[in-house]
Amino acid sequence: MIVDGGRLELLGLRDTAYGQSLTNYFYGLNQFYIGQAGATVDTSNNTVVVTQKLERDPSVLTDGGLTKRGTGCLTLTGECAYNGETVVAEGTLRFQNSIPTNNVTILPGATLSLADGQFRALAPPRLTGGEGGESVIELEAGLGGACDSVVLSNKAQLGNVSFRLIGLSGVSSYWMAGDYVIATYAGGAPNVSGWHASPPTGVSVSFEVQSAQKRVVLHVSRAPTGNSVWLKPGSGAWSDAANWTTAPANDPGTAVLFGEAPGAAANVSVGSAVTVGSMTFDSPYACALSGSGIAFGADGSGGALNVLQGSHVIAQGVTLPADLAVAVQPNASLLLGGGATGAGRMTVTGGGTLSVSNGASISVPLTVEGATLGVATTSTLGVPLTLGAGGATLMPAGGKTVTFSGAVDGTGPITKSGASVAVMSGVNGGTAARIVRNGTLTLTSLTDGGDLVIGEGTLKYTADE
């Protein structure tokens, strides 16, 4: 295929047994030539991988280079053997094999990524970016200050440029504390006044031009906040201070935050029992805690557990010396895999979903105010349940049956949701409606509680024996 001045728009392809998919878009193509007028590749909003070698049309002495358009990401895993300019006009262009040795321009709003699983230097004759708006350069970083870098010639022009540190192969963000050489130069020192980064909560950055070494260093350090913020992507130990902005003290006044710093899923192992005052999950990437138990608060001092976004797991048991306020925001969820014990009450609010692996693992009274209560296995939840004015949505996992045998009181409604069964066998002193949105709600008494509202689900009545 020869592209000579045309615009090649890459639409979606379905996966097939022959490997025809977005991960090998031009499957079966032997040669990809770029003509004298150049090639424009438009990914639209797709994430596309091109595996072929991109090279100059052998019928011409010079080609017109490559322009990347579209909001999606174009990853080139083959050799970049063309000799014209590379222009990242829109979206993201990522090199995972050879890096072009021609001029490179990153237009405002576009991203150039060097995420290829190794630390390398981009050294074009002229690198231009951030002229008239923000351009982004993604650099891989790792332990000991290792990172990708750019080599700046005298012709380089980097103005309003945001540098983004990512893990090897771009699988995560990387904001571990360290000093990263992100640029070197041979001539005059670059003007870095427009260079910046957008670190997550708990991290601060600064740029230093080191004239003697002719390099620019990005210093990443821990910023003091009211929280101990988790930084490490992948798996890590709670007890390793390097994984946090500040190592969390084993104290009922400690506040911990699992935010967006890792930029990927995180698994945190708790080696020995810990005590915190509050814990917050605020990341679209899943975070899973496992290991020894976690106590929230202390006698006379309750704790807080907040889920602002994402779906997260606390696999070990939690202890409530006093009341625990759990706030799970809409579209967010938290699974308590090890249950809850202690002297306190757990109050669930926020409009999201709190799930437990097994109803029997919960031995503290519950208050639910405008939130969803999920149970992963067929089991019995025997603790008292108080319904706030916003009520509770009962949603056992699909195909499972959960029996709520504890006493129920409060002013809010009970709503059954999901393709599952909820059995209400305890005394219901509540005054609001019992609503069957879908699935099955089984009642052992029709004389307690408020009105019955049956939607698309099933109401089943079984009299007490």
Residue 444 sits in the same domain as residue 376: yes
What is the number of structural domains in the chain? 2
Give me the pLDDT at residue 101, please: 87
Domain boundary residue among 222, 250, 281? Answer: 222
Q: Which residues does the chain have with pLDDT short of 70? A: 12-20, 464-465
The amino acid that residue 139 corresponds to is: L
Q: Are residues 147 and 234 in the same domain?
A: no
Identify the domain boundary among 197, 222, 247.
222
Q: Is 462 in contact with 441 (CB distance < 8 Å)? A: no
Same-domain pairing of 152 and 239:
no
Last residue of a domain, one of 222, 254, 280: 222
Residues 193 and 278 in one domain: no
95 and 240 in one domain? no
Could you tell me which of 432, 281, 256, 402 has the C-alpha nearest to residue 350?
Answer: 281
Whether the Cβ atoms of residue 366 and residue 345 lie closer than 8 Å to each other: yes
State whether 299 and 376 are in the same domain.
yes
pLDDT at 11: 81
Is residue 206 domain-shared with residue 276, that is, in the same domain? Answer: no
Pair 163, 262 in one domain = no
Could you give the C-alpha distances from 358 to 48, 123, 231, 322, 403, in angstroms and in order?
A: 42, 57, 31, 22, 11
User: What's the order of all strands across the beta sheet hosting 121-122?
Assistant: 121-122, 149-152, 178-185, 215-222, 203-210
β-strand partners of 370: none
Q: What is the pLDDT of residue 14?
A: 59
What is the predicted pLDDT for the residue at 445?
Answer: 83
Q: Quick one: CA torsion of 323, 329, 333, 339, rounded to 10 degrees?
A: 0
**DSSP character at residue 168:** G
Q: Check residue 27 and give its pLDDT.
A: 86
Task: Give Cβ neighbours of residue 164 (< 8 Å, ≥ 6 apart).
Answer: 111, 136, 137, 138, 139, 173, 197, 198
Our measurement of the distance from residue 247's CA atom to the centroid of its chain's CA atoms, rounded to an integer in Å, reads 22
Q: Which domain holds residue 7?
A: 2-222
Chain centre to alpha carbon of residue 120: 26
Question: Looking at residue 68, what is its pLDDT?
Answer: 98
Same domain as 236, residue 217: no
One domain for residues 96 and 235: no
| 261 and 204 in a common domain | no
Shared-domain flag, residues 290 and 172: no
pLDDT at site 74: 96
